[in-house]
Structure 1
Amino acid sequence: MNENEYQKWQCDLLNEINRVLTPDGSLFYNHKDRRFCKRDYPPEQFILKSKLKLYQTIIWDRGSTPNQNINYFRPNVEKIFWLTKSSADPSCTPKFYRNRLPECFKPAIWRIPPERNNKHPAPFPQLLAEICILATTDEGVEPRSQIIV
């Protein structure tokens, strides 16, 4: 799939998520920069074209990468985009329970090694999803009662 098709596909996906996301809901979208035809394409290019609002960018420091291409620096970080509907309205902020997080996840750089026992070439650890859910879900509320992607 060429880069333009890919970006349109991802933007369409984000717009569909926006359609079903609750007004104070959040989407944590993990994506790295893509390389296509010897160029770098940061995901911000299509994220900012979507209807979702970029609330914050978190850096996931993987500490390693399966990509060993000798033509550029090793991409051992990925981005986690915290996207919302509500950040467009200054009177409405997304749910955020920072005090529930371990201290190491309060900054915007998370150092978590990738899972090793996984056949996918670039698996993300379950801990990433758990931290995002913990940070944005009311204590005592079933996560499935809120839209979490």
Structure 2
Amino acid sequence: MRHNVYEGGLRMKTAARTMLLLGGMALLLAVACATAQAGTFVLKFNHVLGAKEPYHQGFTNWAKAVEEKTKGGLKIEVFHSAQLGVEEDILEQIRAGANIGQNTDSARMGNYVPGIAIMNGPYFAENLDEVAKLKNSPTVRGFLDELANKHGMKVL
């Protein structure tokens, strides 16, 4: 079966971005839940995309679902268009323990752990099943452990 190269690349990029997005969201939830105390906990979540972008709507829906699931215990305020600052500054604030989250990708995480940036390459995975297997591979686990232990950023 002959595959359209463009479609394969698009599927791979979508799968890789989905994995990183889910990992980033899990990271935010882990940080928020670990530091939350009684009452309502508010987490500010920054991303660089515009308010009309589909990802922004996805982040907004995610925030609503988290608030419902936690019965109001965790509220996520979503900020579009880098309203809270550029990614590099936000990531440094996260490392310092600030109550903020950032949507990012493996290329940016490559500034901390160079090997992880390979996951941003074209045709890296064919589908979401391959992405799931990749996430649990010893190599990727090593990258994630280094991010957590050396740089204070844990991706789940």
Q: Could you state the TM-score of these two structures normalised by the residue count of structure 2?
A: 0.27
- Which structure exhibits the higher relative contact order, with contacts defined as CA atoms closer than 8 Å and separated by 6 or more residues? 2
Larger helix proportion of the pair: 2
Larger strand proportion of the pair: 1
